[in-house]
Amino acid sequence: MSNLPDESFRDSIATINEEGKRNFIFPKKPSGKYYDKRKLLSYFLLAFLLSAPFIKINGNQFLLFNVLERKFSIFGFPFWPQDFYIFVLSMIIGVVGLTLFTVAFGRIFCGWFCPQTIFMEMVFRRIEYWIDGDRGAQMRLAKQEWNAEKIRKRLIKWVIFFVISFLIANVFLAYLIGSDKLLEYIEEGPSENISTLIALLIFTGVFYFIFAWFREQVCIIACPYGRMQGVLLDNKSINVAYDHVRGEGEKGRAKWDKREDRSISGKGDCIDCKQCIVVCPTGIDIRNGTQLECINCTACIDECDTIMDKVGLPKGLIRYASEDEIVKKEKFKLTTRMKGYIAVLTILIGVLIGLLFLRNDVEANVFRLPGQLYEQKGTVISNVFTYKIVNKTVKDFENVSFKLEKPLGEIKLVGNKHIVVKKEALYQGTLFIEIPINEVKEDKMKVKIGVYNDGKLIETTTTTFLGPRSFN
């Protein structure tokens, strides 16, 4: 028999069997200190995820990602297409923040905060434990022929999974089209909104497929964040890790023998009970080291601590630790790479705060009509412009007017003289700017325009006014 370590885990994943077919994982129900904390956090995050699109701040949805109409709202701050740079900057900050967090603390996000893990492990999986029982009972049920018990259990589970998937799809839609519109559609009934109903059923089908069948493969195969771990993690990153120095000792792991003193025999503290594998929702053996499949769910920490307790060995054989902590006993400290990320993040956040303060609730643009030059009417020079006013607030502007602030002159609206800009809407039209010829000092002159609502200045903007070339 070869003495070489078993490296076969590098060529296979637990979710696919030797014939290339799906291998269902039946993880044991976790229990312990970390699981209890994760449960508490998940209740809070579930409440947040499900309620965020229905919470309003100053009339703005707390979180809205209306990609189709390009309307976004983050923490109640509305973002318009004109604010897209702020939105992009926020996303960049999110990515840099997550990168920093990953470099320092590994995949904590996956285990504690990711919606996929929260729904899978804290909602669907727990319903499964409730209906089908723990690991052993689930495995028996899977192998069992289709008798009355299996049909009943499967039907109950699938119906509950479908109902929850449908609810998640509704909330997902509220994030996409806005909760007001969703409630409006619900009131009108499905027959009035067939296309939305179809979209809703497609989303429901996708969620059902993910949580009933695809499951942990999202983290292993589909999630791009998971695949970035290889480049982000290093020996100083804190992860759910097996203390191989302690676990393997000088003579490797071995089955538990209570008559044996392992400090004398030289055997490691790992008693090879394999409970850390049995409880793992991605089916891996954490003793093989940090792996892409590990979502840092902490189930193996809890399970191993329970085992260590039972055999009277110190807890923490699997724990949050960096490779350097395990091998060199080095405590966590900020590395140069982390300091670099912190510096970049601080600068980006500073810029974002500045931009948010500078950002206006109203945006007005006045553009010269393409191809039009100036016109002279007696002692007055006139240019024609188009204008756009964006009202980003949740109140209508009932009485909007323009005033030429600099130089002296007049603004004349074409057509409708009473401008009303509805909340969260855009208004556009045409206007003339007329300036006495003695005020026109250049052939291309900057002019300043004030936009007023009920006599109150709400925005100023500039544009270029054309005059005769004789000024050159």
* Dist. CA 433–CA 406, nearest whole Å: 11
Instruction: Kindly tell me which residue out of 280, 389, 433, 445 binds ligand SF4, with binding defined by CB under 6 A.
Output: 280
Q: What backbone phi and psi angles, to 5 degrees, belong to 409?
A: 165, -165
Residue 457, helix vs strand vs coil: strand
Q: Which is nearer to ligand SF4, 200 or 276 (CB)?
A: 276
Q: Which is nearer to ligand SF4, 132 or 303 (CB)?
A: 303
HSE on the CB side for 175, CA within 13 Å? Answer: 15
| CB proximity list for 49: less than 8 A, separation 6 or greater | 115, 118, 171
Work out how close the CB of 302 gets to ligand SF4 at its nearest, in angstroms, rounded to a whole number: 9
Instruction: Kindly tell me which residue out of 273, 321, 345, 348 binds ligand SF4, with binding defined by CB under 6 A.
Output: 273
Q: Which stretch binds ligand SF4 (CB under 6 A): 79-87, 158-166, 296-304, 409-417?
A: 296-304
DSSP secondary structure string for all residues of 299-352: HHHHHHHHHHHHHT--S-SEEEE-HHHHHH-PPP---HHHHHHHHHHHHHHHHH
Q: Which residues pair with 56 in a beta bridge?
A: 61
| CB proximity list for 110: less than 8 A, separation 6 or greater | 117, 219, 225, 226, 295, 296, 297
* Residues present in the chain in total: 472
Work out how close the CB of 31 gets to ligand SF4 at its nearest, in angstroms, rounded to a whole number: 13
296 binds ligand SF4 (CB under 6 A): yes
Q: Decide if 421 contacts 449 (C-beta within 8 A).
A: no
Work out the angle between the directed axes of helices 179-188 and 148-177 (0-180°, nearest 10): 120
Q: Decide if 129 contacts 121 (C-beta within 8 A).
A: no
What are the strands of the beta sheet with 71-74, ordered from one edge? 63-66, 71-74, 77-79
299 binds ligand SF4 (CB under 6 A): yes
* Dist. CA 381–CA 444, nearest whole Å: 12
Q: Which is nearer to ligand SF4, 128 or 303 (CB)?
A: 303
Work out how close the CB of 155 gets to ligand SF4 at its nearest, in angstroms, rounded to a whole number: 30
Work out how close the CB of 323 gets to ligand SF4 at its nearest, in angstroms, rounded to a whole number: 15
Q: Which is nearer to ligand SF4, 214 or 374 (CB)?
A: 214
* Dist. CA 334–CA 142, nearest whole Å: 48
Work out how close the CB of 278 gets to ligand SF4 at its nearest, in angstroms, rounded to a whole number: 8
Q: Residue written as tokens 């008798």?
A: 147
Instruction: Kindly tell me which residue out of 64, 177, 271, 381 binds ligand SF4, with binding defined by CB under 6 A.
Output: 271
Instruction: Kindly tell me which residue out of 304, 390, 404, 435 binds ligand SF4, with binding defined by CB under 6 A.
Output: 304
Nearest Cα neighbor of 177 from 75, 70, 76 is 70
* Dist. CA 222–CA 49, nearest whole Å: 22
Q: Which is nearer to ligand SF4, 63 or 317 (CB)?
A: 317
Q: Which is nearer to ligand SF4, 244 or 392 (CB)?
A: 244
| Binding to ligand SF4 in span 71-110, by CB under 6 A | none
Q: Which is nearer to ligand SF4, 23 or 275 (CB)?
A: 275
| Binding to ligand SF4 in span 306-335, by CB under 6 A | 307, 317-318
- Look at phi and psi of residue 180 and say left if phi exceeds 0, alpha if psi is from -120 to 50, else beta: alpha
Q: Residue written as tokens 């600099």?
A: 406
Q: Which stretch binds ligand SF4 (CB under 6 A): 75-83, 278-286, 369-377, 408-416?
A: 278-286
Q: Which is nearer to ligand SF4, 139 or 352 (CB)?
A: 139
Q: Which is nearer to ligand SF4, 290 or 461 (CB)?
A: 290
Work out how close the CB of 13 gets to ligand SF4 at its nearest, in angstroms, rounded to a whole number: 13
Q: Which is nearer to ligand SF4, 318 or 458 (CB)?
A: 318
Nearest Cα neighbor of 461 from 369, 368, 364, 390 is 364
297 binds ligand SF4 (CB under 6 A): yes
Q: Decide if 371 contacts 470 (C-beta within 8 A).
A: no
Could you tell me how many residues of this chain bind ligand SF4 (CB under 6 A)? 29
The tokens of 149 are what? 């018990």
Work out how close the CB of 239 gets to ligand SF4 at its nearest, in angstroms, rounded to a whole number: 9
Q: Decide if 41 contacts 47 (C-beta within 8 A).
A: no
Q: Which is nearer to ligand SF4, 170 or 282 (CB)?
A: 282
Residue 83, helix vs strand vs coil: helix
Instruction: Kindly tell me which residue out of 150, 197, 272, 410 binds ligand SF4, with binding defined by CB under 6 A.
Output: 272
Question: In the stretch 208-247, what mask flags binding to ligand SF4 with x, by CB under 6 A?
Answer: --------------------------------x-x----x
Question: In the stretch 240-269, what mask flags binding to ligand SF4 with x, by CB under 6 A?
Answer: x-x----x----------------------
Instruction: Kindly tell me which residue out of 45, 220, 294, 449 binds ligand SF4, with binding defined by CB under 6 A.
Output: 294
| CB proximity list for 109: less than 8 A, separation 6 or greater | 98, 101, 102, 225
Work out how close the CB of 313 gets to ligand SF4 at its nearest, in angstroms, rounded to a whole number: 8
Q: Which residues bind ligand SF4 (CB under 6 A)?
A: 240, 242, 247, 270-276, 279-282, 284, 286-287, 294-300, 303-304, 307, 317-318
